[in-house]
Amino acid sequence: MAIPLTLAISEYEHVRDLVTGTVKPDAIDLKTMTLPVEDIFRRFLREGEWDAAEMSMGMYAAMRARDDTSLGAIPVFPSRMFRQSAVYVRADSPVRSPQALAGRRVGLPQWSQTTMIYVRGWLSDDLGIGLRGIHWIQAGVDSPGQREPVPIRVPDGVELTPVADRSLSQLLLAGEIDALISSHPPAAARDGRIVRLIEDGPAYEADYHARTGLFPIMHLVCVRDAVLRRSPDLAPALLAAFEAAKAGALRRLTDVNTSRLPVPWLAELIGRHRDEFFAGGPYWPYGLAANRRTLETFLRWCHEQGVCARRLSAEELFPPALHGS
């Protein structure tokens, strides 16, 4: 008898075959819903909807480090983004390089947000700008009042000042902070008043990957622990289905007979990225083994930055049946 499972996930080309039913997981009666990630996170965590859902890496790691085992996860990573491009300054700012952030006031919307964890880890490990080398200001990017979604303990000696009545964009434009970090461009980037600190983000990020081997994981897929315990075969079957959906997407996108996306030379671009980022191996790899370096580095940063109450191992994120994936 098939296991009923509800899943909420964003609209990705590499999961489309699973959402449409073209790929059917073995022994799972899957019903899916596509929504923006912010809605998914809120409704899955706070309102208890769905059996499985896309989830923030930072949120999930923080929960596991508090020994909250209400969720498990499978090593499927639908969203991965380099985040050096997530740092913004005023167009007339004297801050012209990442190294110049040392000693500055830098805004962020949430200390525990996955993007912020990766940016702070890059600044610390790669540029030598530790957590105590910046005065951090916490507020919403374009609207005031944003708060932390999970409990955190900022390390001793780190300055983190919440601002409730103004946004980071307002503070930056007024000269009260020197830079801000945001997953999406601030509204004032549309008229050029706020710009990216690193002008050629792809070149900088490609060099970072070449030197470190890190390809940041933003989201993974979580499943309620009660569901996983009732159905031990569910996690491997769901992982296999996501792999099959990704393979179908890559077949479409590398079809040189038809342009599946409005991007010139798409097949050639994917081929170049396969060589550059994946060493000719699986494209956009799922599983623990192929992603161990990124996962272990991220978990170290989570602990160093106070997002995780203890240092997690990569294995602690996933059921034992998937440790060999």
Kindly state whether residues 235 and 189 are assigned to the same domain: no
Kindly state whether residues 112 and 155 are assigned to the same domain: yes
| CATH number of 309's domain | 3.40.190.10
Mean pLDDT per 10-residue segment, the chain (325 residues): 94 97 96 96 95 97 95 98 98 97 97 97 98 97 84 91 96 98 96 97 96 97 96 96 98 93 93 89 94 98 96 97 93
Kindly state whether residues 224 and 239 are assigned to the same domain: yes
Quick one: which of 289, 290, 307 has its CA closest to 298?
307
CA distance 256 to 258: 6
Q: What integer pLDDT is reported at residue 1 of this predicted model?
A: 77
Q: What integer pLDDT is reported at residue 147 of this predicted model?
A: 79
Q: What integer pLDDT is reported at residue 152 of this predicted model?
A: 79
Kindly state whether residues 167 and 268 are assigned to the same domain: no
Q: What integer pLDDT is reported at residue 279 of this predicted model?
A: 86
Kindly state whether residues 88 and 187 are assigned to the same domain: yes
CA triple 250-5-216, angle to 5 deg: 45
The count of structural domains within the chain is: 2
Kindly state whether residues 234 and 290 are assigned to the same domain: yes
Kindly state whether residues 109 and 205 are assigned to the same domain: yes
pTM for the model stands at 0.96
Report how far Cα 151 is from the mean position of its chain's Cα atoms: 19
Q: What integer pLDDT is reported at residue 95 of this predicted model?
A: 97
Kindly state whether residues 109 and 151 are assigned to the same domain: yes
Kindly state whether residues 112 and 179 are assigned to the same domain: yes
Report how far Cα 186 is from the mean position of its chain's Cα atoms: 18
> Which of 186, 212, 238 is at the close of a domain?
212
Kindly state whether residues 233 and 134 are assigned to the same domain: no
Instruction: For residue 108, give the 3-state DSSP assignment.
Output: strand
Kindly state whether residues 193 and 304 are assigned to the same domain: no
Q: Which domain holds residue 170?
A: 84-212
